[in-house]
Structure 1
């Protein structure tokens, strides 16, 4: 399983726009082939910083999503809202303790 972590930082005036858009697309992302989990987090001390965590079956599923019309339409609406360049990491989960 591949875990994708993306850090997103927005202009304060655009946070509501981002959250409204995420609400409309989250189920589409989650139901995209190969996606196993989608989570959105907000930094406790910097309210304009968000993180998405998504779990993918493999790297090709993530790449299929990143090359999809769905991703392109989401990115077109999200990119103008940033106040810093997004950062992304693809990682392998090594351990989980419940």
Structure 2
């Protein structure tokens, strides 16, 4: 499983345009072959910074998406909205904790 994290910083006046485009395409992206999870996060302090977090079966599936007409269309509308170069990471999950860990020592 490949996890992809993308950090994007937008011009403040372009955030609504980005969110509309994401809303219109999120289900198509999630339904793309090999995509198992798609989430969007917003920084609490710098509210023009967003992160996408997605799970892919493999790097090949991610690359197929990145060369697809869907990605090209989404990216063509997203790229002009940035106020900084986006950053992306492909990572491996090492640890995952679920549930209440506050009482772990009790």
Distance in 2 of aligned mates of 1:45 and 1:88: 20
Deviation at 1:94, TM superposition (A): 1.2
- Provide the secondary structure at the position in 2 that maps to 1:24: helix
Deviation at 1:95, TM superposition (A): 1.5
What is the correspondence of 1:31-42 to structure 2 with a 5 Å cutoff? 31-42=31-42
2:43 corresponds to:
43
2:71 corresponds to:
71
Distance in 1 of aligned mates of 2:12 and 2:4: 25
Count, aligned residues: 98
Q: Runs of at least 4 residues of structure 1 off by over 4 A? A: none
CA RMSD of aligned residues (A): 0.4
1:7 matched to 2:7: yes
Distance in 2 of aligned mates of 1:8 and 1:79: 9
Question: Structure 2 length as normaliser, TM-score?
Answer: 0.92
Looking at CA atoms only, which structure, 1 or 2, has the larger radius of gyration? 2
Deviation at 1:20, TM superposition (A): 0.5
- Provide the secondary structure at the position in 2 that maps to 1:74: helix
Question: Structure 1 length as normaliser, TM-score?
Answer: 0.99
